[in-house]
Amino acid sequence: MNSPHPVSALTIAGSDSGGGAGIQADLKTFAAHRVHGLSAIAALTAQHTRGVTAVEVPPVEFLHAQVDACFADFDIGAVKLGMLATADVIHAVADALERHRPPHVVLDPVMVATSGAKLLRPDALDALRNRLLPLATLVTPNLPEAELLLGWEIANHDAMRRACEALLQRGARAVLLKGGHLADSGDVVDLLAHGAGIVEFRHARLQLEAHGTGCTLASAVAANLCRGLALDDACRAAGDYVNAALRGGYRPGRSDVVVLDHF
Ligand code: PLP
């Protein structure tokens, strides 16, 4: 047996019945990083590789019960936030984080699935901006999510830098802005911005229709923070992990959509 009471990572997110994204991707990522994974299910999706067919949001009292049970027994090194669905859920999560004060909070501001399904009610955007950004150690938007958070278009690398600064001003302690959606055939460039400046991470663009990359990236950062890595190293290693998992990806459904390989 290894050392008693290793640090655990907690995901508060949505379940994906198709096993490619959400809680399922988060727990696979934690396991691949050899970090014990805890989960509090904020929303349930009926989903396959082609789309989301139904969403159910459990009562917030039950979400509190899950989160409180985790904090009552485990040494939690980082919390990863994914699909939170509604303003009520966001307020419940913010209340729980203010009560328990985990060392790190990685916020993946999940809004719309690659398939086009809406995973956050539009009236929940203000709650996400006002309650969760200030609690986040790191927020990991893709470009469409950053555009919705800020209310303006991000069409090039200069605009990405301005968006990072604007998200820092809104209260996040660090921003990992993912550039994959930029209309650009070159490398994918992600920017990590924090008080000490901006760091660039570059990967060759893969021509794949993939599912669960955002969840996996944020969970890998959370796992790396649990393992004691500094933020820059945690983000760089997480990006490399997603890239390798995509290259090894497979197609479990009847569509061309690729699910990441965590094995
Ligand atoms: N389903 C759930 C529960 C999610 O949390 C997410 C993304 O975070 C998705 C689906 C969408 O994943 P993707 O956009 O990678 O297909």
- Phi, psi dihedrals of residue 4, rounded to the nearest 5°: -70, 155
The CATH number of domain 8-259, selected from 1.20.1250.20, 3.40.1190.20, 3.30.1490.20, 3.10.180.10: 3.40.1190.20
CA 104 to chain centre: 13
Q: Which residues of 149-163 are buried (b: 16+ CB within 10 A; e: fewer)?
A: bbeeebeeeebbbeb
State in Å: Cα 5 to ligand 1 middle: 31
All residue ranges of the chain with pLDDT < 50 are none
> Which residue has a Cα nearest atom 16 of ligand 1?
211
219 lines ligand 1 (CB under 6 A): no
> Which residue has a Cα nearest atom 5 of ligand 1?
22
239 lines ligand 1 (CB under 6 A): no
State in Å: Cα 238 to ligand 1 middle: 17
Spatial distance between the Cα atoms of 83 and 174, rounded to a whole number of angstroms: 20
Residue with tokens 């390989």: 261
Other beta carbons within 10 angstroms of residue 261's beta carbon come to 14
Atom of ligand 1 nearest to the CA of 115: 16
Residue 156, C-beta contacts closer than 8 angstroms, at least 6 positions apart: 182
22 lines ligand 1 (CB under 6 A): yes
177 lines ligand 1 (CB under 6 A): no
Residue 195: its pLDDT value, please?
Answer: 87
Atom of ligand 1 nearest to the CA of 257: 16
Residue 186: its pLDDT value, please?
Answer: 85
Dihedral of CA 73/27/107/112: which sign? negative
| pLDDT tens readout for residues 62-117 | 999 999 999 999 999 999 999 999 999 999 999 999 999 999 999 999 999 888 88
Residue 224: its pLDDT value, please?
Answer: 98
- Phi, psi dihedrals of residue 62, rounded to the nearest 5°: -75, -30
State in Å: Cα 128 to ligand 1 middle: 17
Residue 234: C-alpha distances to residues 147, 164, 222 (Å): 25, 18, 8
Q: Up-side HSE of residue 54: CA atoms within 13 Å toward CB?
A: 3
Question: Ligand 1: which of 16, 81, 221 to mutate, most ligand atoms within 8 Å of CB?
Answer: 16
Interior CA angle at 75 toward 70 and 80, to 5°? 65
Residue 3: its pLDDT value, please?
Answer: 64
Domain boundaries, the chain: 8-259
State in Å: Cα 120 to ligand 1 middle: 11
* In contact, 8 and 67? CB cutoff 8 Å: no
Nearest Cα to 17, choosing from 54, 45, 37?
A: 45
